[in-house]
Amino acid sequence: MPNLVIDIGNSLTKLAVFDQNEIVYSYTAPAIITDFVSEIIKSKKVNNGIVSSVKSELGFDEAVIASQINYIKFNKHTKIPIKNNYQTPDSLGLDRLAVVIAANYLYPEQAVLVIDAGTCITYDSVDATANYYGGSISPGIKMRFDAMHHFTSKLPQLSFDPNFEGDFGRNSKEAISSGAINGCVYEAEGFIKTFLNTHKHGKIILSGGDSAFFDTKFKNSIFANLILHEPNLVLIGLNTVVNYQHDLK
């Protein structure tokens, strides 16, 4: 039976219906309401569902949804198919946990580094025996532009141009773009090299809103054959968690 997966982020809510581990329907909006979710459940004949949220307010009535399907509210107590060794599970972002679960599903018995490029850029890895120990959180590209303007008196507010080229800026605007954009790329390269030094046959997955930019940057790099670009990684991870509950039965 199809699974309903809902990921509520800081700015957007992503909803997807999976059938046989494939997305057959998806919808993204700032928020979703109870009637809309109920209609999806009925029209897609959904039987199981999971919700993950970074917010306390979901925007829809959980009780109504739970009365219609086998409902899971993803949290630190949910049974998962990897070993979570994070020292402070209460503070671990559920999106970070979901992406390493997805990574382990996509590349079983392999070490995987996930670079999730969104508001922040997170670097998380799971080893070949499904152990997750943690990762790194860094400012995202847009956040770097915003911070340079906010915390200085003269630097202008600039927007992220994914087509920016050049190692160094020839003027102040280009210098800001070079620092923010190239800084992120060089940072990611450093994390990848460090990961591969430990896991020579490891894989890298790019996800998140800015993942297409990084995918383009690494297309012709020495890492190209190791990289998978999967923008729906959080949704895949959540769907994996739903399926895992049934495997336990």
Task: Give the mean pLDDT of 78-90.
Answer: 96
In this predicted structure, the answer to whether residue 248 has a pLDDT above a threshold of 90 is no
CA distances 190 to 112, 162, 185, 187, Å, are 15, 20, 9, 5
Report residue 155's pLDDT band, with 50, 70 and 90 as the boundaries.
very high
**Considering the chain, what is the average pLDDT of its residues?**
95
Where is the domain boundary, 73, 91, 110? 73
Instruction: Tell me the C-alpha distance between 218 and 229, whole Å.
Output: 11
The percent of residues in the chain predicted with pLDDT above 90, rounded, is 88
The total number of structural domains in the chain stands at: 2
In this predicted structure, the answer to whether residue 55 has a pLDDT above a threshold of 90 is no
Q: Is 95 a catalytic residue?
A: yes
124 in the same domain as 49: no
Q: Are 104 and 112 in contact (CB under 8 A)?
A: yes
pLDDT, position 122: 97
In this predicted structure, the answer to whether residue 169 has a pLDDT above a threshold of 70 is yes
Model pTM?
0.93
Report residue 194's pLDDT band, with 50, 70 and 90 as the boundaries.
very high
Render the chain in DSSP notation, one character per residue: --EEEEEE-SS-EEEEEEETTEEEEEEEES---HHHHHHHHHHTT--EEEEEESSS--SS-HHHHHTTSEEEE--TTS--SSEE--S-GGGS-HHHHHHHHHHHHHSTTS-EEEEEESSEEEEEEE-TTSEEEEEEEEE-HHHHHHHHHHTSSSPPP----TT---SS-SSHHHHHHIIIIIHHHHHHHHHHHHHHHH-TT-EEEEESTTHHHHHHHHTTSTTGGGEEE-TTHHHHHHHHHHHHHHHT-
Q: Retrieve residue 97's tokens.
A: 């946990």
pLDDT, position 231: 93
69 in the same domain as 79: no
67 in the same domain as 127: no
Written as one letter, the residue type at 245 is Q
223 in the same domain as 100: yes
Tell me, rounded to whole angstroms, the distance of Cα 77 from its chain centroid. Answer: 20
Where is the domain boundary, 73, 94, 117? 73
Residue with tokens 């943690």: 134
pLDDT, position 249: 67
158 in the same domain as 63: no
In this predicted structure, which of 7-16, 119-128, 154-163 has the lowest mean pLDDT? 7-16
97 in the same domain as 165: yes
CATH number of the domain where residue 69 is located: 3.30.420.40
In this predicted structure, which of 26-30, 95-99, 217-221 has the lowest mean pLDDT? 217-221
Instruction: Tell me the C-alpha distance between 249 and 245, whole Å.
Output: 7
- 59/83: higher pLDDT: 83
Vertex 66: Cα angle to 49 and 25 (nearest 5)? 35
Among residues 7, 95, 127, 215, which one is catalytic?
A: 95
pLDDT tens digits, one per residue of 38-51: 999 999 999 999 99
